[in-house]
């Protein structure tokens, strides 16, 4: 039977002439020829080709299985359909690279099997998504399937008979594209999604546009580019490029989802570049895709994305980034640091001309180091909705990063964490952001979806290193309210020799309360590592309880005040808004000193948090895990500073990195903190000054003007009989 098909197909393909060029998606015929010609010249790329062919050969060995949909992410059938699109993708490319028809036949057979199955499918039997698919539990996965199948189809198009093409297009691609674009029956939710300014719509438009190109159906292409009304005024891929990134190339959901979002952008853009070069898609909006990639790289630490919002542990090694780096480097090879991204984190390449050129130019030693820079990554279509501030150590050997988040909500994946900070140092997350509560693809864990604790804990304000008022989350945890507002980065200065600083402000997250946060990163002559000063100010109409939590990653070493540890019984710290998930592990108040210090260690370094307190300040040590009936929460620990019945309050904290600790060599030094005192010495409407004192008679004085962001303006304060004068919102004085 199989033999018969081969014969028919050999006869028929030779008499078919395509109206459009194939292949023309990931590569053109010229590019395929170049790849073939360069074989053996760049070993790393040869390996990529071998891997692609190996994956194709492995696919060929297993019988074609196109089962009826039944399960969710991580389930056997779900994974089969996923591995099928990879199989077609690899075989399609293998056909182009080798000319061996066996690969084309495999793709054709599989597509025909799908053409048989697809018309029989109603909606997927699992009702888990508001946007259900047919082949998958959500339409999103169906779009991803179609993007890959389109590429495979483009690769083998010329090897198919017109009868085969007619069958596959009529029974599979057209109904699937129509479904993705319009929905099915009375359910038109897909049409809404298709025209949204949302990353799911990017997949949908890429899928419909690419299969449109493949079938030479310009109506599909136009709807993909300009929305289903073809005007470009409501939906479509081009408008997504205008709306889904800020002018800095930041995607509002944060880096983790920006990784996912950029994939269909670069794939479809590559297709468009080949099919409609007149659109100059890679130059569109001042090279917005190139900027988006640069921003993704900047929002990573040791190759992993900052854990903003619903983030899991992914980073520059993700396959989406391989697409982005190889396609965008090929489009514009001027940024040679992209080669370092590929070299340090990916070590794999697309089997395309872009992949080849990246591999080749790495071998030619053209890579420049990745320069991680301090900066503000603005949120909002026009960059007007706050942003994420990042401070990097200027000495790249220090390997530190600080983030301050003051963005808009970030759509459905956003967290309620205005003005949250995170600190990465020495290869570790030191003051971490929990990210998402999700066990991706682990079916036993809520089918791999977000767990209930993502809502009840991970998204809540208390899960983050920021202020919680009256044990309530920002905007009462109401996403609709939160989506109406954004915080602002009101000031930043990364140019000074001895300090960098970011100031953010929010007036909406808590009704009637203004929060300001100043994060300064100070290089002193007397401390081993740069110092972080964190000043979190509240101004409120009424009295409130203020909680200042810092989640820490490391082992507890010491507190500088007497504390009680829960010995025989652990109880939750609160009852709602995430507090129900916290075990209260220890507590105390500090009557000995006006500065409370906590030291922990991680890896071979120590970290000491010293914060200005009074004997009334309550200090709590917390551990995550209460009210977690299914073991969904990870182990995590926090220190929390509680001020009760305050209108205005300034939390002033020194975060000191210190010590060398080598258990193997049994050497250690500087394990005890140098910080002796942190004190708010001035706190008026106009000015706040915080003085942190260190061993040896040293101090750092941080002077803040609270109301003026003009960088040129001169301010002065008299403190302890000395006059301090500085320009701009923040001045630092060291002794």
For residue 155, give the nearest of 108, 202, 217, 199 by alpha carbon.
Answer: 108
Q: Computed from CA positions of residues 160, 161, 164, 166, in that sequence, does the dihedral angle turn out positive or negative?
A: positive
Q: Is position 627 an interface residue for its own copies (rule: CB under 8 A)?
A: yes
Among 672, 680, 682, 734, binds its own copies (CB under 8 A): 672
DSSP codes, 198-223: SHHHHHHHHHHHHHHHHHT-HHHHHH
The one catalytic residue among 22, 409, 413, 658 = 413
Among 666, 697, 712, 720, binds its own copies (CB under 8 A): 666
Q: Is position 62 an interface residue for its own copies (rule: CB under 8 A)?
A: no
Q: Is position 15 an interface residue for its own copies (rule: CB under 8 A)?
A: no
Return the residues of window 300-329 that contact its own copies according to CB under 8 A: 312-315, 317-319
Q: Is position 664 an interface residue for its own copies (rule: CB under 8 A)?
A: yes
Pairing assessment for the beta strands 420-425 and 428-431 based on DSSP bridges: antiparallel
Rg (CA), the chain: 28
Q: Is position 576 an interface residue for its own copies (rule: CB under 8 A)?
A: no
DSSP codes, 671-728: -S--EEEEEEEEE-SSEEEEEEEETTTEEEEEEEESS---SS-EEEEEETTEEEEEES
Shortest Cβ 558–its own copies spacing (Å): 4
Both tokens of 492, joined, read: 């930043």
- The yes-or-no answer on residue 153 being catalytic is no
- Closest to its own copies by CB, 141 vs 706, is 141
- Closest to its own copies by CB, 112 vs 304, is 304
CB atoms within 10 A of CB 700: 25
- Closest to its own copies by CB, 398 vs 557, is 557
Both tokens of 683, joined, read: 């706190």
Q: Is position 667 an interface residue for its own copies (rule: CB under 8 A)?
A: yes
Both tokens of 11, joined, read: 């006869």
Shortest Cβ 655–its own copies spacing (Å): 18
Q: Using CB under 8 A, which of the segments 183-191, 277-285, 413-421, 620-628 binds its own copies?
A: 620-628
The one catalytic residue among 103, 153, 257, 529 = 257
Among 629, 718, 721, 723, binds its own copies (CB under 8 A): 629
Shortest Cβ 635–its own copies spacing (Å): 5
Q: Using CB under 8 A, which of the segments 61-69, 106-114, 282-290, 439-447 binds its own copies?
A: 439-447
Is residue 600 within 8 A of residue 554, CB to CB? The reply is yes
CB atoms within 10 A of CB 111: 28
For residue 71, give the nearest of 134, 145, 125, 129 by alpha carbon.
Answer: 125
Q: Is position 601 an interface residue for its own copies (rule: CB under 8 A)?
A: yes
List Cβ neighbours of 725 (8 Å cut-off, separation of 6 or more): 714, 715, 716, 731
Contact track, its own copies, 530-559, x by CB under 8 A: -------------------------xxxx-
Both tokens of 444, joined, read: 């036993």
Q: Is position 631 an interface residue for its own copies (rule: CB under 8 A)?
A: yes
Shortest Cβ 127–its own copies spacing (Å): 22
DSSP codes, 594-646: SEEEEEEEETTEEEEEEEE--TT-EEEEEEE-TT-TTS-SPP-EEEEEEEEEE
As a whole number of angstroms, the distance between CA 414 and CA 311 comes to 10
Q: SS3 string of 70-136?
A: CCCCCCHHHHHHHHHHHHHHHHHHHHHHHCCHHHHHHHHHHHHHHHHHHHHCCCCCCCCCCCCCCCC
List Cβ neighbours of 372 (8 Å cut-off, separation of 6 or more): 298, 392, 396, 401
Q: Is position 351 an interface residue for its own copies (rule: CB under 8 A)?
A: no
Contact track, its own copies, 172-211, x by CB under 8 A: ----------------------------------------
- The yes-or-no answer on residue 413 being catalytic is yes
Q: Is position 572 an interface residue for its own copies (rule: CB under 8 A)?
A: yes
Shortest Cβ 559–its own copies spacing (Å): 9
- Closest to its own copies by CB, 41 vs 571, is 571
- Closest to its own copies by CB, 82 vs 198, is 82
Shortest Cβ 296–its own copies spacing (Å): 14
Residues carrying an active site annotation: 257, 413
Sites of contact with its own copies (CB under 8 A): 74, 79, 82, 312-315, 317-319, 439-445, 555-558, 565, 567-572, 583, 585-586, 599, 601, 623, 625-631, 634-635, 661, 663-669, 671-672
């Amino acid at each position: 039977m199989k033999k018969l098909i081969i014969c028919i197909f050999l006869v028929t393909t030779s008499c078919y002439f395509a109206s459009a060029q194939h292949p023309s998606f990931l590569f053109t015929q010229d590019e395929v020829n170049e790849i073939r010609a360069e074989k053996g010249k760049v070993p790393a790329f040869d390996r990529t080709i071998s891997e692609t062919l190996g994956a194709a050969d492995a696919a060929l060995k297993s019988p074609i299985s196109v089962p009826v949909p039944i399960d969710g992410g991580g389930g056997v059938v779900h994974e089969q359909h996923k591995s099928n699109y990879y199989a077609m993708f690899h075989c399609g490319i293998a056909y182009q690279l080798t000319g061996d028809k066996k690969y084309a036949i495999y793709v054709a057979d599989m597509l025909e099997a799908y053409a048989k199955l697809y018309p029989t499918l109603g909606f997927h039997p699992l009702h888990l998504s508001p946007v259900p698919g047919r082949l998958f539990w959500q339409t999103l996965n169906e779009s991803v399937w179609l993007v890959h199948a389109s590429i495979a189809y483009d690769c083998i198009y010329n090897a198919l008979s017109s009868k085969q093409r007619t069958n596959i297009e009529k029974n599979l691609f057209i109904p699937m594209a129509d479904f993705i674009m319009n929905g099915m029956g009375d359910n038109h939710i897909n049409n809404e999604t298709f025209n949204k300014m949302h990353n799911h719509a990017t997949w949908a438009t890429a899928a419909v546009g690419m299969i449109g190109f493949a079938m030479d159906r310009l109506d599909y292409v136009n709807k993909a580019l300009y929305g289903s009304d073809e005007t470009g005024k409501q939906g479509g891929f081009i408008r997504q490029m205008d709306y889904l990134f800020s002018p800095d190339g930041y995607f509002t959901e944060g880096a983790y989802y920006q990784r996912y979002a950029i994939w269909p952008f670069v794939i479809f853009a590559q297709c468009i570049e080949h099919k409609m070069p007149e659109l100059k898609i890679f130059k569109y909006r001042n090279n917005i895709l190139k900027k988006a990639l640069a921003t993704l790289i900047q929002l990573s630490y040791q190759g992993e994305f900052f854990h903003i919002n619903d983030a899991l542990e992914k980073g520059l090694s993700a396959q989406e980034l391989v697409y982005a780096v190889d396609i965008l480097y090929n489009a514009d090879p001027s940024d040679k640091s992209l080669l370092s991204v590929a070299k340090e984190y990916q070590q794999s390449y697309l089997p395309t001309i872009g992949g080849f050129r990246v591999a080749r130019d790495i071998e030619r030693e053209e890579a420049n180091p990745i320069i991680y820079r301090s900066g503000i990554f603005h949120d909002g279509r026009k960059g007007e909705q706050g942003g994420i501030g990042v401070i990097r150590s200027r000495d790249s050997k220090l390997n530190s990063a600080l983030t301050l988040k003051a963005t808009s909500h970030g759509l459905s994946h956003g967290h309620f964490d205005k003005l949250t900070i995170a600190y990465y140092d020495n290869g570790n997350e030191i003051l971490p952001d929990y990210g998402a509560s999700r066990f991706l693809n682990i079916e036993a864990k809520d089918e791999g979806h977000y767990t209930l604790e993502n809502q009840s804990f991970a998204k809540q304000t208390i899960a983050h290193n920021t202020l919680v008022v009256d044990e309530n989350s920002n905007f009462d945890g109401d996403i609709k309210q939160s989506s109406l507002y954004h915080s602002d980065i009101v000031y930043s200065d990364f140019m000074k020799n001895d300090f960098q600083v970011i100031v953010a402000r929010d007036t909406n997250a808590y009704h009637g309360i203004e929060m300001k946060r100043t994060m300064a990163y100070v290089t002193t002559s007397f401390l081993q590592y740069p110092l972080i000063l964190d000043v979190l100010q509240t101004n409120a109409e009424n009295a409130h309880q203020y909680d200042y939590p810092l989640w820490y990653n490391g082992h507890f070493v010491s507190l500088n005040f007497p504390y009680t540890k829960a010995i025989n019984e652990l109880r939750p710290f609160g009852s709602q808004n995430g507090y129900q998930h916290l075990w209260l592990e220890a507590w105390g108040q500090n009557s000995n000193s006006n500065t409370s210090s906590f030291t922990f260690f991680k890896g071979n370094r120590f970290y000491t948090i010293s914060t200005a307190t009074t004997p009334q300040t309550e200090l709590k040590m917390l551990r995550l895990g209460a009210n977690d009936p299914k073991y969904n929460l990870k182990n995590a620990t926090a220190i929390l500073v509680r001020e009760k019945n305050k209108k205005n309050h300034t939390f002033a904290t020194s975060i000191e990195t210190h010590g060398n600790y080598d258990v193997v060599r049994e050497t250690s030094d500087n394990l005890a903190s140098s910080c002796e005192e942190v004190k708010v010495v001035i706190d008026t409407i106009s000015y706040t000054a915080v003085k942190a004192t260190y061993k040896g008679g040293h101090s750092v004085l941080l002077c803040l003007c609270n109301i003026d962001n003009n960088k040129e303006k001169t301010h002065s304060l008299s403190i302890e009989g000395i006059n301090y004068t500085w320009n701009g919102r923040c001045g630092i004085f060291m002794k």
